[in-house]
Every structure is written in C-alpha cells, then in structure tokens.
Structure 1
Amino acid sequence: MLLTTLFSLPTAMALDVADDGRLLVLYDGTGTRQINEVAPDGTWRALTDLGDTCRGAQFVPGSSQVIVEHDAGGNERGQLSLLDLKDAGLPVLAPLVHDAEYIHHLVAVRAGRVLYTTNRRNGVDFDLIAHDLATGSESVLYDSGGWVMAVDPSPDDKWVVLSKASSPANSMQLLLLDTSSRAITELTAEDAQNDQGPVAWLPDSSAFLVSGDAGRDRKALRRYDVADGTWSDFLADDARDLAGWPAPDGQHLLVAVLDDGEVSLALHHLEDGSLIAPLGLPTGGCAALMIATPNPVWSPDGSFAAITYNSPVTPPTVFRFVPGGELTAIRPPEMPDVPAELRYPESMRVPSFDGEQVPVFVFRPTSTELGSTVVHVHGGPEGAALRMWNPIVAALAGDGHTVVVPNVRGSAGYGKRWYSLDDRELRLDSVKDLAAINAWLPTIGADSSRAALWGGSYGGYMVLAGVAFQPDLWAAGVDLVGMASLVTFLENTSDYRRAMREREYGYLATDREFLESASPLSRVDDIRAPLFVIHGANDPRVPLSEAEQITDALTKRGVPCRLLVYPDEGHGLAKLTNRLDAYPQAFSFLREHLA
C-alpha cells in the first residue's frame, strides 16, 4: 500500500553543528524521532533510542556532551537530559532538568550552561532560566510573565531577545533583556499586531535581524541596532515574506523567500544584503519553514550551513551547503527510493463568498481516478499549507482522490491582512471558504457531491464545522485531534495554552455566546456525514474529551462514526506503529463513503 510505503520513508532534520563539523540530526528511521550524530565523513551514529519522540538537541561547546529535550507519550512536557558522547555504543541519558508536571524547553546551549524556558512557577507563564552544568545551580533571567515562545541570546551573551505572545492574535512582542542588569526593553508594543520571527544575531552582537510585518502586510527582514535602539528595513519585498540567518564569519547571509507555499533559499552578502546566488535546491519545495523549526543552522566558523529541505516529492533531507562550493545531501545509511508516481500540486485560487480569493494546491490523482475529492485543511489556525512532504496527501492522491489543500483565511504566508480575516467574531468566515471550495470543485472536473473533509487540530475543528454548518455539502469527514466545542476546548486545554488561544478565538468571560455559536457541537443535530475521529489520550492542547463528546452525540443519533484513541500519543500521531494502524483505517473509511 502506498500509504505504508510513504510513512515508512525516513526523514531527517538538522538541529545543530559542532565546532569540528559534526551534526545533530532528528531522524525517525526507527519509527520515532531520535537524535543521531553525523560525522564529517558521513558516518551516522544513533544517540537516543527512547520509546517516545525526541523534541530537540544541542551540542555543549568545548565538551563531549549533548543536551536533549524529550517528552513522554506526546504530552509535550519537555524534560532536559544530558548524554556524553564518550560513552561507548548508545550513550546513557542522565537527567538534567526533570519535573514531569511542567514544560522545560531547550532554547540555547553555551559552554558550561544551558538556557531553557519553563512554566513550573505557576503552570501558565514561561520563565527563562540559566542552568550551570558544573554546579547544577540555576538563575532566573526573566520571570515577568507571558508565554515566551522563543529565546535568542547574542553571541557575546550580553543580550537576549525574548519573543513573547502578545494580546492581538497571531502577534509577537519582542523584548530585549540585558543579562547583567536584568533590565528589559520593549522593542515592539504589546498591543501591536505584529507577527515576528525568527530572530538572528549578527556575529559581533551589535544588531540582530528579524522577520517581521510591523507596519506592513508582508514580513520584511528588519534590523535592530542595539547601540542606538533603532529599527531599519534590511531587505523587503511587498509581495513575499522574507527571513534571514547571518553566518558567524560575518561574510554571508542566507535569505529565505516564502512565495505561495514555496520557500527558496539564496546566499547574500551580509554587509549590504546584495544577492550572491540561489542555493540550487530543487524548486517547488521548502528549504526553510520560517513559521516553525527547523531552519538553516550555520557551523560555528561559518564554513558551511546544514539545511533541511523537503517538498511534496522529497522527504525532509539534510543538505550541507558550502558558500561558493558544493551542496551535498546527507543521507541516512538506509534510504529507500521515493515512489516515482508522486507529483507536485497545481496552485489555484477559489473565489469565496465575499470576493476574496482562497489559495489552494490541487493534487491530481496518481492512480485510477475515483472522481472523489478530499479537502485537506491545515492546523493552526495561524499555520499554513506549504509545499512540503505530506504522506497523507500523497497517499490520498495515490488512492485515486483529487486532493485540495487550501490556505483558508486566517492562514499565514499570504500577508497580515489575510491571516487576520478569521479573528474572533470572523471565525465562521473561514468555514464559509470551505463551502466556496465545494462549489468550485466542478470547475476542476471534481464531483462536489463526493467530497470529504480531512484535518488535524484546528483543521479538525474545520472538518467538524464543515459537516455541522454545511451538512448538505460534505459526504464524510476525518477529524484528527480537533475541537468540537470552542467553549469546552478553552475550559479544558492546558492553562498556558488557554492564555494564548483566547486571543484568537474569543474570551470565555466575555465571548461565551459567540464561542458556543461557532462550535460544531452546537449544531451536532444537523450533522449527517459519517465521521472518523483520531485522538491521542495525552493531548495537552485539545483534550480527548473533545473527540469523545462529538462521537458520543453522533452515536446517539445513529450517524456513522468511529473514534480511535491512542494511549501513548498526544496532539497527533508521532509513532509509526500508530500511524500505520490509524491511517489505513481512515483511508478505507473514505473509500467506503465516497464510493
């Protein structure tokens, strides 16, 4: 089965580079993402073999040690452990920062110390902590509240940029922390609608670059100079989003350009931003994510960069790029061939109810065409459907479905105006985009009466909202960890997430009536489409109760539905064994109900 073949293809993502050129890579050849080391000669060595997924790792400079972040059963409560590469065979993980009730997120490793964020003070706010590796002592660098989502220390360790979720939806406030005095400077306003990140310091610590849309619709590469406290545009493109990563040698800059779901990379001069040359990676894919990790990682001396590239026909693969030199794929010891039938999508626009144009990617069937369609909705809601490796989408096309992958209003990557069109009381406008897509299907030769919805997380909410608010349009739905009720979701999600998600959906204290009206559960009596639901028992974002209440209600009404619960998973399916159990059943469900 094509689905099994695609999910069994291993993926690799670059995490860190040591002084001598060794790489840390997140590799899932064993069925879960584990930490591997790749030597300069290309030799691979497994460093972890946990039953659960590793979340990240960094070298400790000047030592043989590596810091690893990992969780248990997908609960996202990261714990930090230390391993020593001097150990023969598989190194033993030694606990470094462990408290299973709270989250500890690895953000930076310096010689002799580790920086991490944690919500252990009150379960909501994230503090920045420095942990001394020699003594085990810790000092608090920041504890002024909020969800600190990214931390970027300057190369000289005098400054730290904190990226904190701010009050408007899809927005980030930048703070500058003086590590000596602990003084904090607000670089952007807390109430301004600015999406910002990633942050990258210049090698001399005089300034940093950040991808941000302050005062504009698209993300420019902006520069902040520490000495005079001024902002300036370094590189800007009114039609596309930009991000950049300076090389530690002060000579080069990697610039990413996001354009209609594709992310290309080019080498520029750091001094003035002028273009040197594109990197030469295949077109039609993503050489950086910009809205998530991983992103390019420079070696400490700037002699090369480790880049994670993927596309609809290429699983995530690490490339070694030498400025002015070669671009080499770093492949794992065993890498099966990718099936030849995979195809790139067509990019189209769908007119919606109010004249807006919804960007969609259309994957044509690569086997005998069934005449059916699956609309695959991304999570977020501020996420985006990119031109990335997606075994589910490829396998659906291989099963004979036309697959439409939309970036409904509220999606990132198409400007500030577009990602703001679903905020709070505009929530159901994004659901109306689904109806517009259904009505548009005949223009591409698809049967709108044989169309199903598939989505995870916020995409799962969109599946449930589609079958609830548009019961005449959809023949079936596959919901993975979606929200059935915005009210119960906000009431029962993790405390730290509620504080941020109310910005996007509405506040329980003031917007309960609207939240109820926008909840699929409020229209459950209208649902007629068969539903297939997948959920992890340890989900810290969308509690299992969301899946249980929608399937219980449908079962009582006699609507065909099925719920699969995995006790060792969280917000999605991370383990290959569970994917190979759940997704073939979901595919059979679609074949049955779209026949």
Structure 2
Amino acid sequence: MRRLLLAATAAAACLVTGSAVAQGPVPLIPRDVLFGNPERAGGQISPDGKWLSWTAPVNGVMNVWLAPASDPSAAKPMTSEKVRPIRQYFWSPDSRTLLYIQDKGGDENFLLYGVDVASGGEKLMTPFEKTRVQIVGISPLVPGRILVGVNNRDAKWHDVHSLDLATGKLTPVLMNTGDYSGFVADGRLVVRGALKSRSDGGSDYFRVIDNKVESKPLEQVGLDDSLSTNPLGFTNDGKTLYWIDSRGRNTAALIAQDVASGTKRVVAEDARADVGDILSNPETGEVEAYTVDYLRQDWKPIGSAIAGDVAFLNKRFPGDWTVTSRTRADDKWVIAAIASDRPSTSYLYDRKGQALTQLFESRPKLAGTPLVPMTPVVIKSRDGLDLVSYLTLPAGVDANRDGKADRAVPMVLFVHGGPWARDSYGFNAYHQWLANRGYAVLAVNYRGSTGLGKSFTNAGNLQWGLKMHDDLLDAVKWAVDQGVTTSDKVAIMGGSYGGYATLAGMTFTPTTFACGVDIVGPSNLETLLKTIPPYWEAGKVQFYKRMGDPTSAEGLALLKAASPLYKADQIKRPLLIGQGANDPRVNQAESEQIVAAMQAKNIPVTYVLFPDEGHGFARPVNNIAFNAVTENFLGRCLGGRAEPIGDTVAKSTAKVPHGAEYAPGLSQALGGK
C-alpha cells in the first residue's frame, strides 16, 4: 500500500491509504495551494487615501506592490527582493514612503528599507551589520520622520534615533547606556517613557524628560504581571497614556492614565480574557474599540465614534476581522476578513455609506476546495484549569458540522510556539492541510499561554515538561474519550515551543504518541538559554524565572530534568526534525544534539536542515518541501493520505544530514542532492 501511495499522482492521491481514515472521495488539496505564495496579502491604504498597497509575488518572491486607490488594476511592484519574502511593511505618515523590514537568511537582524513612492527609488535606512531595528514612534503630527531604535553600538541595547525619511539621515536622540529594554514616545515623537527589567523578572517604567531618564521609577510591574501589562502609547495631545494592565486583577484591562495627575480609569475589561487588539483614531490617538479573544474574537466599541462601524462589520463578518489601515481623514479603512474555513479576503470600507468593496482574496485557488470549519472547545485539565482549544475535523467525519466527530480518526496534536503566545480561532493552513489528509487536528492553549488571564499564564512557571505537558496529555485523553480519535493513533507536532513539546512527548511519555514532528524545537534548555540573541538580554531574567535559573544549582537541575536531550534513549516512536541553520532563537545545535544522541543509540530519526532559513521556514519552496516530507512521514505513521514528495525537496535548499531512509520517499526525492 505504501508503494502505491508513493507512486500515485496528485489527482489519484485522494484515494484512501488506510481504512482508519476512510472518508470517501474528498479531493486532495495540493500543498502549493495552501503553502505557496498567496496571490496577494497585507492590503493597506495610504494615510492620504490616494494609494492602495499589498504584497504579491514577483518571480516567485513576495514584494510590495502599489496602485492608485482609484484604479487597483494599475498596480506595479515597488520592491525587488529576489530570494526572501517581504513579510512586514508599512506607510510613512506623509504617504510619500513605503517602509519595510528585511533580514538575511532568517538571522532576524532586521534592517529598515524605504521606497520613495514618487520615484520608486529604494534606500537602506539602517545601513549597519548585525543590527536589528525597532520602531519607537510614528505619528501623523510629524509626517516626515519617525523614531527608530538600533543596536549597532551595543548588540544588547537599542539607542533611539530620529530618522528623516526624505534624506535617510539618522540623528541620535537618546543613547541607551542604562540598559533600558524599550521606550515610549508621544505624538510629537518626544520620548516620554523608558522600560527596564527588574531582578524579579518584572519591569520598571521611568519618566523621560528632555531625553534623560529619571532615576526613580514611575510604575513598577512584578513578574506575575510582566506578560500582561505594558504601556500602549499616548494620545496625540500627550495628555493620556493608555495601558494594557493586569495589576490588581486577573485579566488585563484597558486603562487610561491622566498624565498630569497620574490618575487611572478602567476603559474596558472582561473577566474571560485579556483585552487584545485596539483601534485608535488616527488623528487623536484615542482608543475607539477593542477586542477580547476568549473562544473567538469579539470587537467592542468605546463610545459612539465608530460604534456603528463595529456593529456593521460584526454583522457582515461573523468570523474574525481586523482593520489593517485607516486614512488620516478616517473616511476609509482596509478590512481583512477571515473565517475558519475560508482564507483572508481584503475589502475597502467606505465609512460614509458603510460600503464594502472587495479588493482581493489572498488565495483564490482555494475556492471550491473542501475546507472545513474549526470548532472552539474547552477542555478541563486534571487540576481543573480551562484549556481553551480548537478542533478541526476532516470532511465527512462531522456530517452536520456540529464540531463533534461521527467516528474516530487519527489525530495530530498541533502545539503552538512561544510558549507565551496562544492559539486562536480562524483560518489555519496547517489545520486545513492535515484535516484534508484525514486527520483530526487539536490545538490546545496549555498553561503558560497568554491572553487568558495572568493566573493561567503564571500557572506555567517552571512547568516545562511537567504540568504544561500534562495539559497536552489531558487534551489527548479528552479527544479519545469524545470519540475523536483512538489512543494509538495520535501524533504530536509543532514549532519552537511546539517542537520542544514534541520532543518532550517522545521522551517523557514515549508510548503516548505514534510519532512526532519537531520544527525548530529546543532539546536542551540549558544550552537554549546560553545561546539566546544578545538583544534579548533584557528578557533573560524572565526566562530564568519562568523556565529555571541556570545560575543556581536548583534551577540548573530543573532545566536538565525538563530537557528531552537527556532522555533521548527513551524514544521509541518515529521522529522527524526540521531546522533552520541561521536560527538565532533555537540554534542549529539544539536539533543536532538530539540527533547525535539518537544516532549513538541507533534510534531512527530523520533530520532535515535548511541552510537559508531561521526560526521557521519563510521561503515557500522550503516550507512546501518540509511539509511534503511531513505528510508522507505521517502517512506511514497514522495511515492518512499524502501527496507524493515529487520534486519539492529537489527544488528547495533542504539537506538531510541523517535519516533520509526513515521517511517514505525522501531518499528518492533527494536524488543527487
């Protein structure tokens, strides 16, 4: 049967490869449709309303495009990246410059580039080696310049500079000789606040006057609130400072602080989850709406200014929506709308008539494919915590789409990274891909995840490989008890912390999972903390407090006990590892240590290395190649469907230092590589 699978064409691959996942003739969604370049993405409107912009491929690489707002069909590319996709860009306040950040090969040394809209001329705004730019301040009140932080003087700390967008001149504003982790500027681009890490893992917030930081902190935040409390910024008149703040409560509230008196008032809060995204008036900076994301995102207005717009958009888009840009006149917005079974679609929204004009679908080739819905579920942990989770079932397994499985199928436990992040409702290409191959997919917000209250986040402190792992095991038990899957047909997969969780699953509980897919996951927490990037210096103490302190005997013992490397000899099930050679967060050595340990014990493992990638695989050709290997690996392990590897690996930069023979079709696909 496996030989039949590997020889099948994509058209014929919809045939089921194992009775455990038999589901009828559901068409196979090609990998490149899900993971190749979107047709367009990242739609924005310029502040003056004259231009529309987005990213789209140029010779297979995502670049920034520009079109008159009056004629989107007259678009033209404004950048000329030839290898690595541009993933983040933004407009200057005066609408004269398109700005974007870019690194080299995934090293995360992001530099700032500017493209003059009138001439098309492109300029490197931060021309430094091994430097990572931060945006400190952008304001419509100061249209010709922005504030940036650059760490070219000291790799650990960012100095604040004023950047003239027309000339590219950088003028020092505040030299960071006090080990400050960040700065806050007002609407006049005056630096008003500085943040500094504390020995307890929290932060102190200092007032800045005349570009000098006061010695006594204005606000203090302890470890418990450090991941859920931070200043958002000032109103443009400088009179109000907004905070997301969990001090004195569990879930973070939106707080407005009067700068003159220091008094604070609660603007918005929700007992279920933290206040998340906000919408601020482009002219005044006043917050006009906010989201709470518990099971699903929920936009709520503040006052009446855009209450009608929020109500209209909530009704029009019952899935998630967000405002990606607003004109300075605030008459037009660009909206990105997403449902769990439909990829992003961008619209131009005319507020005056509440009129929506579709700009583009990000992946129109997915129209008509068998996409399936995602269902939010709450799973109880063994000690009573609510684990907000998301279940995606294959087509034909949930006939009435009530989110409950009609029969058991193999399952992939897909673990999010961070761990200080969260899974949310919405379109997820990985969920759709795996469900289309015949697997239920379960994503769990295990303790330590953010956005669901500080108590839930702090419950993960010093629990790597312990209660955080128990939460994942409890989710698997729930899925078995609910008839979603069977205990012998569950794989674990994830990136970054999700990769760590995969390795933990394969070593600490070696018979729970049928196989594992680790993407850029750390195997040794001691060496992970030794090799974090220098610009993460300010967060080092917080890592120690939440993971284990390698400078103490007790903390080092905790880190070693939670490191899968030291239990590599316990691995009993198939393991696939993917790594970027330039990863600054989880170094290549993290993967190579555990591969070497498994080699020494003659334990099979497949190791795929991408020399031009970092923390994850940004280039679609590489991502598609790894996913091709992954789905054939899972097909042998769980019995699901797979599109043949074909020439995907040959077209990528993938190298396989070890174990190609353990992944179906990989040796053949490598050919002469």
Code of the aligned partner of 1:121: R
- Out of 150, 156, 162, the position equivalent to 2:188 is 156
- Out of 308, 320, 323, the position equivalent to 1:286 is 320
- Out of 34, 38, 42, the position equivalent to 1:13 is 42
Distance, in Å, in 1 between the alignment partners of 2:204 and 2:368 is: 44
Distance, in Å, in 1 between the alignment partners of 2:318 and 2:308 is: 24
Q: 1:18 deviation in Å?
A: 2.4
Q: 1:333 deviation in Å?
A: 9.4
Taking structure 1 as reference, are residues 332 and 276 closer, same or farther at Cα in structure 2, changes over 3 Å only?
Answer: closer
Taking structure 1 as reference, are residues 116 and 159 closer, same or farther at Cα in structure 2, changes over 3 Å only?
Answer: closer
Contact 1:55 1:71 in 2 (8 A): no
Contact 1:255 1:266 in 2 (8 A): yes
Distance, in Å, in 2 between the alignment partners of 1:213 and 1:113 is: 34
Q: 1:182 deviation in Å?
A: 5.6
Percent identity over the alignment is 24
Distance, in Å, in 1 between the alignment partners of 2:245 and 2:307 is: 17
Distance, in Å, in 2 between the alignment partners of 1:333 and 1:578 is: 20
Code of the aligned partner of 2:237: D
Q: 1:107 deviation in Å?
A: 4.2
What's the secondary structure of 2:551's corresponding residue? helix
Taking structure 1 as reference, are residues 281 and 572 closer, same or farther at Cα in structure 2, changes over 3 Å only?
Answer: farther
Taking structure 1 as reference, are residues 466 and 135 closer, same or farther at Cα in structure 2, changes over 3 Å only?
Answer: closer
1:421 and 2:453 are equivalent in the alignment: no
Of structures 1 and 2, the larger Rg is shown by 2
Distance, in Å, in 2 between the alignment partners of 1:273 and 1:208 is: 22
Distance, in Å, in 1 between the alignment partners of 2:258 and 2:147 is: 24
Deviation string, structure 1 residues 319-378 (Cα, Å, up to 9, x no partner)? 333445224443169843434422222222323232323222111112688821100000
Taking structure 1 as reference, are residues 275 and 235 closer, same or farther at Cα in structure 2, changes over 3 Å only?
Answer: farther
Contact 2:412 2:490 in 1 (8 A): yes
Q: 1:553 deviation in Å?
A: 1.7
Q: Please show how residues 117-266 of structure 1 align to structure 2 within 5 Å.
A: 117-133=149-165, 134=167, 136-141=169-174, 143-146=176-179, 148=181, 152-161=184-193, 174-178=205-209, 186-191=217-222, 193-194=224-225, 195-196=228-229, 199-242=232-275, 243-250=277-284, 253-266=287-300
Contact 2:79 2:115 in 1 (8 A): no
Taking structure 1 as reference, are residues 387 and 108 closer, same or farther at Cα in structure 2, changes over 3 Å only?
Answer: same
| Partner in structure 1 of residue 12 of structure 2 | none
Code of the aligned partner of 1:348: V
Code of the aligned partner of 2:596: D
Taking structure 1 as reference, are residues 32 and 231 closer, same or farther at Cα in structure 2, changes over 3 Å only?
Answer: farther
Alignment RMSD, CA only?
Answer: 3.1
| Partner in structure 2 of residue 292 of structure 1 | none
Q: TM-score, normalised by structure 1?
A: 0.89
| Partner in structure 1 of residue 645 of structure 2 | none
- Out of 454, 468, 482, the position equivalent to 2:521 is 482
Deviation string, structure 1 residues 495-535 (Cα, Å, up to 9, x no partner)? 23365233432222121111111111121111112111111
Q: Please show how residues 309-388 of structure 1 align to structure 2 within 5 Å.
A: 309-323=337-351, 325-331=354-360, 335-366=364-395, 371-388=409-426
- Out of 560, 573, 580, the position equivalent to 1:516 is 560
| Partner in structure 1 of residue 404 of structure 2 | none
Code of the aligned partner of 1:358: L
Deviation string, structure 1 residues 436-456 (Cα, Å, up to 9, x no partner)? 122222222211111000100
Distance, in Å, in 2 between the alignment partners of 1:587 and 1:213 is: 42
Contact 1:160 1:176 in 2 (8 A): yes
Q: 1:302 deviation in Å?
A: 2.2
1:471 and 2:510 are equivalent in the alignment: yes
Distance, in Å, in 2 between the alignment partners of 1:282 and 1:458 is: 36
Q: 1:61 deviation in Å?
A: 3.9
Distance, in Å, in 2 between the alignment partners of 1:349 and 1:592 is: 31
Question: 4-13 or 211-220: which moved more?
Answer: 4-13
Contact 1:352 1:358 in 2 (8 A): yes
- Out of 101, 123, 129, the position equivalent to 2:130 is 101
Contact 1:347 1:359 in 2 (8 A): yes
What's the secondary structure of 2:592's corresponding residue? helix
| Partner in structure 2 of residue 527 of structure 1 | 571
Contact 1:167 1:191 in 2 (8 A): no
1:460 and 2:492 are equivalent in the alignment: no
1:507 and 2:539 are equivalent in the alignment: no
Code of the aligned partner of 1:490: L
| Partner in structure 2 of residue 112 of structure 1 | 144
| Partner in structure 1 of residue 669 of structure 2 | none
Q: 1:157 deviation in Å?
A: 2.8
| Partner in structure 2 of residue 569 of structure 1 | 613
Distance, in Å, in 1 between the alignment partners of 2:566 and 2:179 is: 32
Code of the aligned partner of 1:93: E
For CA contacts below 8 A with separation 6 or more, give which structure has more relative contact order. 2
Q: 1:404 deviation in Å?
A: 0.7
Q: 1:201 deviation in Å?
A: 3.5
Question: 376-385 or 152-161: which moved more?
Answer: 152-161
Code of the aligned partner of 2:359: I
What's the secondary structure of 1:54's corresponding residue? coil
| Partner in structure 1 of residue 668 of structure 2 | none
Distance, in Å, in 1 between the alignment partners of 2:249 and 2:278 is: 18
Taking structure 1 as reference, are residues 61 and 244 closer, same or farther at Cα in structure 2, changes over 3 Å only?
Answer: closer
What's the secondary structure of 1:320's corresponding residue? strand
| Partner in structure 2 of residue 291 of structure 1 | none
1:578 and 2:622 are equivalent in the alignment: yes
Distance, in Å, in 2 between the alignment partners of 1:334 and 1:435 is: 35
Distance, in Å, in 1 between the alignment partners of 2:175 and 2:324 is: 27
Distance, in Å, in 1 between the alignment partners of 2:557 and 2:598 is: 23
What's the secondary structure of 1:553's corresponding residue? helix
Contact 1:312 1:394 in 2 (8 A): no
Code of the aligned partner of 1:85: V
1:547 and 2:547 are equivalent in the alignment: no
What's the secondary structure of 1:331's corresponding residue? strand
Code of the aligned partner of 1:299: T
Contact 1:53 1:74 in 2 (8 A): no
Question: 183-192 or 496-505: which moved more?
Answer: 183-192
Q: TM-score, normalised by structure 2?
A: 0.79
| Partner in structure 1 of residue 442 of structure 2 | 404
Q: 1:223 deviation in Å?
A: 0.6
Distance, in Å, in 2 between the alignment partners of 1:330 and 1:165 is: 44
Code of the aligned partner of 1:115: L
| Partner in structure 1 of residue 99 of structure 2 | 67
How many residue pairs get matched? 584
Deviation string, structure 1 residues 24-73 (Cα, Å, up to 9, x no partner)? 43456865543233432234332223122335333334463333221111
Q: 1:274 deviation in Å?
A: 11
Contact 2:194 2:213 in 1 (8 A): no
Contact 1:459 1:482 in 2 (8 A): yes
| Partner in structure 1 of residue 601 of structure 2 | 557
Deviation string, structure 1 residues 144-174 (Cα, Å, up to 9, x no partner)? 555746x5532233454556666666x6655
Distance, in Å, in 2 between the alignment partners of 1:64 and 1:202 is: 24
